Amino acid sequence: MDTTLQDPLVGRLLDGRYRIDARIAVGGMATVYRAVDTRLDRVLALKVMHPSLAADAAFVERFIREAKSVARLAHPNVVGVFDQGAEGAYVYLAMEYVAGCTLRDVLRERGALTPRAALDILEPVLAALGAAHRAGFVHRDMKPENVLIGDDGRVKVADFGLVRAVGSATAVTGPVLGTVSYLAPEQIEYGTADPSADVYACGVVLYEMLTGGKPHGGETPGQVLYQHLNTDVPAPSAVVPGLAPALDGLVTAATARAPEARPQDAVALLALLRETRAGLDDEQLDALPPQARSGTRDTAEDRTSVIARPVPTTAGGTQPVLHTNRLPAPEAPPASGGARRLPPRGPLLVVAVVLLALGLGTGVWYINSGQFTRVPAVLGQSEAAATKRITDAGLDVGTTKRDFSDVYERGTVMAVDPEPGERVRGNSTVALTLSRGPKVVKVPNLRNKPLAEARRILEQEGLAPGMVTRAFSDSVEQGAVISTDPEPGTERSPDSAVALVVSKGSPIDVPDVSGKTVAEATALLQGEGLTVKVAPERINSPEAAGTVAAQSLAEGSRAAGGDVITLTVSKGPKLVAVPDVTGKTIEDARTALEEEGFQVEVKKSFPYLGDTVVSQSVQGGGTAPEGSTVTITIKGL
């Protein structure tokens, strides 16, 4: 089912300026839409805070801080922010739209990457974070979902929604914000986040790119947190034999549990990455990894969470604080083996572990032994409908699992624990199991389908739209699918990514419009189906003033319908001072004029005597167009 159709913002003009065309993604604090700025006629991404959070001044302040922080960075590998505003309950950021996919999409489709590909992706990520760190900011939520890979191959870091000034990192109290799989130990235990926390997250991302899986796993987020605190990230070569030892060292350095043992910031880690790469040969860089761990799926560990953390009291102790997102504790702590232990963590960790073990975000017990209810029947319902019905019955919704089913439609509830109708105490927790659909899905035939429709069909079939590339085609309309990878009819597991090749339409041979007026050039290019833009700055050129001096795509280039051709208008030729060469020999005069960029023509009256210049077509000290011809006359009899 296409939930975009049910979104009240799709199709709406927000703040009298932004026309919202489609929903791209939904996060914990905001929804991202593809939109058009109707004033500037450009496509952008609109990040809109969930209305339920707009009344929370802290969330709004964080949202606005993101806009100001990213605007200050202005880095080519950071998704830019153009505008920030609000309309009613909707607080938004207008951001750069990056057509392409996320690193998570790539990992789902490819699994582990070659070391060369992994380092090629991580290098611009570290360049972006390095700029942020040197500007005084920490990202705090680095993960594959926040690494965008454009159709043109550019890598950009997105979602600075959790950004915080470095100087305030040690003063954080209350909930810890971040994504469980990528949180540094100090973020979990103390809520602090300086640049080395981003370094740790990048080390985990590098591990995931090299192996196809996360270093720490578990049935619950609490188990993952426990491992971050107590277990070192393993060497990637333990999962992918044959990886260069230097890559193990790079991951180990970045993911050291003690912050002081890591590179101090992304700039330092970038230097270490480049040093590591320089020591690897082509065979080590292009080692093909096994794909056994491909197909990673989006879990609660991949989403930004609010984690309950004890807060110091004025008396120096700790007191639990109420937060709505609670993480259950590990059912059994993993064996530590020979892992290095961190120094004792004191009573703060003890309280945190106790709260997690009890499944509590507050220090208040509430037990009403006289109230019971029955688990409502929610099988076959959507997750949202089932959640509402369960909470309306006075129950909580606990961990949500997913499993295959030939009976229940994808995304609907296929099982609950306790079972429907079972009598339970009020405030009990009900765990849902959602259907992933059949265990095997066939790739549909999407040829000639518009891209948006093709993506909807893939999602309805239980597959994930993957990387989009574009190619010319004389048989498939522009914007429609030419082919898929895998091919139609191929069997794949649910949530597998399907790459799409989309038509750019028939190629257009770009004509030469230099020397034409802007009106003539525009008419000619638009007649070919191209879009024309005129550069604001004019340049000197041999072309007459007011005519086209240059065009962004040269004559004979191939373009797609609607592609933009930028025209640069001539100011006319540059005027250059002409030297006085009368009385000079022919050769001296020629040399002086050519040094100023002029062409030289010699005029001799016959018969003539000697080789002395007696006159010139442009008097010395006057001006003439650069590159024009100056005629010199030689003395006759």
How open is the CA angle 52-53-56, to the nearest 5 degrees? 125
Block residue for tokens 């076959």 = 380
Identify whether the C-beta of residue 478 lies closer than 8 Å to the C-beta of residue 503.
Answer: yes
The Cβ-side half-sphere exposure at 105, using a 13 Å CA radius, reads: 20
SS3 content of the chain, % helix, strand, coil (to 5): 30, 25, 45
Dist CA 450 CA 473 (whole Å) = 14
The DSSP secondary-structure symbol of 501 reads E
Q: For every residue of 373-392, which 3-state class applies, written as one string?
A: EECCCCCCCEHHHHHHHHHH
H or E stretch at 542: none
The DSSP secondary-structure symbol of 578 reads P
Amino acid identity, position 303: R
State whether residue 287 is helix, strand or coil.
coil
Please identify which of the residues 105, 141, 232, 302 carries the catalytic annotation: 141
Q: At what angle do helices 195-211 and 245-254 cross, to 10 degrees?
A: 150
What token pair was written down for 262? 């890591």
Our separate counts of H helices and E strands in the chain read 15, 35
Identify whether the C-beta of residue 632 lies closer than 8 Å to the C-beta of residue 589.
Answer: yes
Closest CA to 632 of 596, 595, 605, 597: 605
What token pair was written down for 22? 């489609």
For this structure, is 141 an active site residue? yes
Dist CA 534 CA 531 (whole Å) = 10
State whether residue 343 is helix, strand or coil.
coil
Residue 77: count of CB within 10 angstroms of its CB: 20
Block residue for tokens 């703060």 = 348
Q: Where are the alpha helices (DSSP H) in 371-485?
A: 383-392, 451-460
The DSSP secondary-structure symbol of 89 reads T
Asked whether the CA dihedral 451, 452, 453, 459 is positive or negative, the reply is: positive
State the DSSP string of 424-473. Answer: EETT-EEEEEEE---SSEEPP--TT-BHHHHHHHHHHTT-EEEEEEEE--
Which conformational region is residue 515 in: left (phi greater than 0), alpha (psi within -120 to 50 degrees), or beta? left
Closest CA to 35 of 63, 6, 4: 4
Classify burial at 341, counting beta carbons within 10 Å of its beta carbon; exposed 0-12, middle 13-18, buried 19 or more. Answer: exposed
548-581 core/surface letters (b: 16 or more CB in 10 A; e: else): bbbbebeeeeebbbebebebbbbebbeeeebbeb
- Cβ partners under 8 Å of residue 404, min gap 6: 435, 436, 437, 438, 439, 494
State whether residue 425 is helix, strand or coil.
strand
Size of the chain in residues:
637
Catalytic site residues? 141
